[in-house]
Amino acid sequence: MTPLLTTTDLCKAFGGLRAVDHVDFSVAPGEVRAVIGPNGAGKTTFVSLVCGRIAPTSGTIVFDGRDITAMPAHERVRAGIAYTFQITSVFPNLTAFDNVALPVQRTLADGRGSGRLRDGVMAALSRTGLAARAGTPAGALSYGHQRLLEVAMGLALKPRLLILDEPTQGLSDGEIDSFVGLVREIARDATVLLIEHNMPVVMALADRITVLDAGKVLAEGTPDEIRANAQVQAAYLGTEAA
């Protein structure tokens, strides 16, 4: 199967620090791929390169057969890449409905159609369990609900690749269980790239896991392979994946 996303020899240096160090990486269509690693491993820098928030020092990024290495972030969104931030980026003074309406408008060919707009917004809010909070200002939502709102904003773009950066941060145990079900549902229609510290979530969701350490790929494999990898145990997992 032709990969949906491929990076080749991808590097990002900040002065003398190489945050992403010659990373070769590929994700198949429909896959749920987790990227894990200790703090400072380069995970967020890597996905920031993929979505176009920062430019690589060297290397290439190919999405759906197209070289997007120099493509601006907004064009990558149009191409089908959506990214939720590690720190919430909702508009606190707008309602949950209006936050989601902004990306929905980008998916409407003519930019009009109030019925289609409302349907698109409510569908995204319903999938994330926020339909009852459509009229609530985003700033009045709990942190966990703000995280889910950002996922709804990403879903509203109807992406082919949805990148979720620490999505369960701030969620209650019940919300995490619902989130796991949501990602499984999303994966029916889209490819998911998940950056996550919650190992039970990673092990429950990921088809394959890539482990980064000091900007390099330390290991890659199925959840069972990663759980049993001695290098990964020493560098990161310890007892977390038990």
CATH for 227: 3.40.50.300
Question: Do 2 and 112 belong to one domain?
Answer: no
Q: Where do the H-state alpha helices sit in the chain?
A: 43-51, 73-79, 96-107, 114-127, 143-156, 173-186, 199-205, 223-227, 230-232
pTM above 0.85, yes or no: yes
Question: Do 75 and 36 belong to one domain?
Answer: yes
Question: Do 70 and 165 belong to one domain?
Answer: yes
- For the chain, the distance separating the N- and C-terminal CA atoms, rounded to the nearest angstrom, is 32
pLDDT at 112: 55
Model confidence at 102: pLDDT above 60:
yes
Model confidence at 241: pLDDT above 50:
no
Model confidence at 233: pLDDT above 80:
yes
Containing H/E element for 61?
strand 58-63
Which tens digit of pLDDT belongs to each residue from 168-185?
A: 888 888 889 988 998 998
Q: What is the mean pLDDT of residues 139-164?
A: 91
How crowded is residue 181: how many other Cβ atoms within 10 Å of its Cβ? 11
Evaluate whether residue 89 is within a structural domain: no
Question: Do 108 and 135 belong to one domain?
Answer: yes
pLDDT at 234: 83
Angle at 182 between CA 181 and CA 187, to 5 degrees: 100
Q: Strand 58-63 and strand 191-195: pairing? A: unpaired
Q: What is the mean pLDDT of residues 70-93?
A: 85
Q: 118 falls in which pLDDT band (50, 70, 90)?
A: very high
Evaluate whether residue 50 is within a structural domain: yes
pLDDT at 166: 87
Q: How far apart, in whole angstroms, are the C-alpha atoms of residue 18 and residue 135? A: 44
Name the percent of the chain lying above pLDDT 90: 67
Number of domains in the chain: 2
Residues spanned by the domain of 113: 95-158
pLDDT at 110: 52
Question: Do 146 and 234 belong to one domain?
Answer: no
Which tens digit of pLDDT belongs to each residue from 32-46?
A: 999 999 888 999 999
The DSSP secondary-structure symbol of 142 reads -
Of 139, 158, 177, the one marking the end of a domain is 158
pLDDT at 231: 87
Question: Do 72 and 173 belong to one domain?
Answer: yes
Q: 147 falls in which pLDDT band (50, 70, 90)?
A: confident
Average pLDDT, the chain: 90
pLDDT at 190: 93
Q: What is the mean pLDDT of residues 12-29?
A: 95
How crowded is residue 89: how many other Cβ atoms within 10 Å of its Cβ? 12
Of 158, 182, 208, the one marking the end of a domain is 158
pLDDT at 178: 87
